[in-house]
Amino acid sequence: MGGRALVVGWDGATWDLLDRLVAEGAMPNLKELCGRSAHSRMDSVVPPVTGPAWVSVATGVNPGRHGCFDFNRVDPETGTLRPIQTYDIQVKTFYEVLQERGRTAILVNLPVSYPPLTGQVTLTSLMTVGDNAVFPEPLKDELPDLKAYRVFPNIKLRSEGKLTEYVRDIRAVEAARMACVRALLPRPWDCFFVVFSGPDWVSHEAFPALMSNGALRDEALEVFRDLDGYLGELVAALGSEDHLLLVSDHGFCAVEGVLYLNELLARWGAAQLDYAPGKVAASAQAEVQIKEMEWRGSFPRWKAKLAPWLFSVPGLCFSFRVFRKFVPIEWPHRFGVDRAKSGFYMPTTASRGLHRGGVAKEPEPLRRRLLSLKDPDGRKVLDYVEPREAVYHGEHVPEAPALLLGSTRWELEAGVRSLKRRLFARMPLGAHHPEGIFLLHGPAASCGEGRRPKPILMDVAPLIFHLVGEAVPEGLDGAVPQAFLDPAWLSSHPVSYAPASAPVRQEGNVEAERIHERLRALGYME
């Protein structure tokens, strides 16, 4: 029997930023911990997006097997988006298997944990339906700190451009989350899994500033100072046989701006835009910021107020086509894609991939053309363009986007924003990067220097099983990263394997529009 495993997730954390903050003295607890732990960069999944990435952490398998490729499932017949829930996870999670084996797992803010799959303590995260995120609900009467638990910051502050106040509210959300952790830690547990979302939320707003001492840096830096303090508390709470895992689902990087993928596909004839007024939706925060930078003060207020009215008039559908072709102005609204008349399209920004539309077209010519795409500086835009069969394996591969795309220089946007035909909009942004963080602390950790193979996200679940003294379920895509384990400890704690049964899932009701509204406001999807 092993000790306990405390898993701390810092959503979106990257060593590129953390190393800088450690060097500045802003994260003393992390600095001290790195000195006596095994740590490394860690490869995420494709796409490196919160939903599918944390599901891969929870299952130890790739999205082609667990079936979650985005925050949404795309109906292959209609293109309708439905937010993913736990019943979409097509393999057993580590916490389900632990419960079956008589072990206790407490989950706090693990994405895609609603509705709970076990009867054990679960504070749910993104994709929560309704206003309650604490399960079992009566636990709030026993532990009053849980009544203040919040899944989301005040997204109205973000939409209004009050970013300083928004970052402060992120800190308040994480402070309330840590209060819940303090309340739950004294309870019996074998695995305690908590995810702090603040690094991702604040990096979307301020990653370039954090890396270059720009505006909003001071306030954003406090998010990481808070996390460092929480980390120190959690390490102090460990017993002598316990382990701490510090991981992120993906990293972050600064990109040059936005590439409008569906605009590009429309220009190439691979997609057909839908000009119907009902398809026009408010733009995402990134686009709002771009517009503010480009025409702040140059666009009369009365015109800005008139624009939504104009775009709501059904009779102007034909005018949109004319304006878009001949009038050199831009509006902070977007068009949709007519899926039935398109060969390929990008349903959401977070999908990082192209789904097939209603017009049959071969993907390979488009793939070659995308790989040769250059930005205004003449540099290659996309790091990879791969068919789903080359990225995933498993029975759910046919549900994935037909082509998977990745870029670490440009954010790939699904929305078609401009009446004027342009593909790129320059603006320093924070975007997801495929390398996250990994750190192992405790008696099993091999703290010596030396080159080691980089772990992958799917190694986390097998490692959790091994650290708590349980056999690793057979057939996972990940494996215990033995290069990070002390040889003597590993010799006395050899890795073992055992079968795990298939899951039983029952679909429930989804408040799709409400969940989509929250995800849009946080910048997760279009």
Which strands form 251-260's sheet, in the order they lie side by side? 411-413, 251-260, 424-433
With cut-offs at 50, 70 and 90, classify the pLDDT of residue 451: confident
Tell me, yes or no, whether 165 and 298 share the same domain. no
* Packing angle, helices 217-236 and 198-212, rounded to 10: 130
Q: What is residue 503's three-state secondary structure?
A: coil
Rg (CA), the chain: 23
DSSP run (H or E) holding 293:
helix 285-295
**DSSP assignment of 113-157:** --S-SSSS-EE--TT--SS--EESTTHHHH-GGGGG--SS--HHH
Tell the residue number behind the tokens 């960069």, with chain if given. 41
Tell me, yes or no, whether 273 and 336 share the same domain. yes
Q: Name residue 120's amino acid.
A: Q
On whether the CB atoms of residues 440 and 484 are closer than 8 A, the answer is yes
Residue 97 lies in a domain: yes
Residue 435 lies in a domain: no
Question: Could you give the CA distance from residue 416 to residue 422 in angstroms, rounded to a whole number?
Answer: 10
Mean pLDDT throughout 98-105?
98
Tokens of 131: 């206003």
According to DSSP, the β-strands at 273-274 and 336-337 are antiparallel
Q: The pTM is what?
A: 0.88
Closest CA to 286 of 181, 395, 393, 208: 208
Tell me, yes or no, whether 274 and 414 share the same domain. yes
Tell me, yes or no, whether 242 and 288 share the same domain. no
Question: Could you give the CA distance from residue 189 to residue 105 in angstroms, rounded to a whole number?
Answer: 6
Question: Could you give the CA distance from residue 140 to residue 134 in angstroms, rounded to a whole number?
Answer: 7
Tell me, yes or no, whether 302 and 234 share the same domain. no
Tell me, yes or no, whether 456 and 416 share the same domain. no
* Chosen domain end from 427, 456, 486: 427
Exposed / middle / buried, residue 185 (Cβ in 10 Å: 0-12, 13-18, 19+): middle
Tell me, yes or no, whether 303 and 341 share the same domain. yes
Tell me, yes or no, whether 423 and 465 share the same domain. no
Residue 525 lies in a domain: no
Tell me, yes or no, whether 20 and 158 share the same domain. yes
Mean pLDDT throughout 213-230?
95
Tell me, yes or no, whether 33 and 156 share the same domain. yes
CATH no. for residue 18?
A: 3.40.720.10
On whether the CB atoms of residues 6 and 239 are closer than 8 A, the answer is no
Residue 505 lies in a domain: no
Question: Could you give the CA distance from residue 361 to residue 341 in angstroms, rounded to a whole number?
Answer: 11
315-360 pLDDT, tens digit per residue, is 455 555 555 555 544 444 467 789 999 999 999 888 999 999 999 9
Mean pLDDT throughout 497-506?
90
Residue 524 lies in a domain: no
> Domain span at residue 386?
256-427
Q: Is the predicted pLDDT of residue 279 greater than 50, yes or no?
A: no
Q: What is the number of domains present in the chain?
A: 2
Question: Could you give the CA distance from residue 371 to residue 385 in angstroms, rounded to a whole number?
Answer: 6
CB atoms near residue 341 (< 10 Å)? 14
Q: In 35-162, which residue ranges form alpha helices assigned H by DSSP? A: 50-59, 63-66, 94-100, 139-142, 155-159
What are the backbone angles phi and psi of residue 489, rounded to the nearest 5°?
A: -65, -40
* Chosen domain end from 397, 427, 457: 427
pLDDT, mean over the chain: 88
Handedness of CA 312, 318, 323, 324 (dihedral sign): positive
Q: What is residue 351's three-state secondary structure?
A: helix
On whether the CB atoms of residues 136 and 119 are closer than 8 A, the answer is yes
* Chosen domain end from 395, 427, 459: 427
Residue 65 lies in a domain: yes
Residue 516 lies in a domain: no
With cut-offs at 50, 70 and 90, classify the pLDDT of residue 162: very high
Q: Mean pLDDT lowest for which of 146-155, 248-257, 455-464, 498-507?
A: 498-507
Tell me, yes or no, whether 216 and 339 share the same domain. no
Mean pLDDT throughout 36-44?
97
Residue 515 lies in a domain: no
Tell me, yes or no, whether 205 and 224 share the same domain. yes
Mean pLDDT throughout 388-405?
97
Question: Could you give the CA distance from residue 166 to residue 161 in angstroms, rounded to a whole number?
Answer: 8
Q: Mean pLDDT lowest for which of 68-77, 268-277, 357-366?
A: 268-277
Whats the size of the chain, residue-wise?
526
On whether the CB atoms of residues 73 and 51 are closer than 8 A, the answer is no
Handedness of CA 57, 155, 204, 47 (dihedral sign): positive
CB atoms near residue 317 (< 10 Å)? 14
Q: State the pLDDT at residue 422.
A: 77
On whether the CB atoms of residues 83 and 72 are closer than 8 A, the answer is yes
Q: Name residue 168's amino acid.
A: R
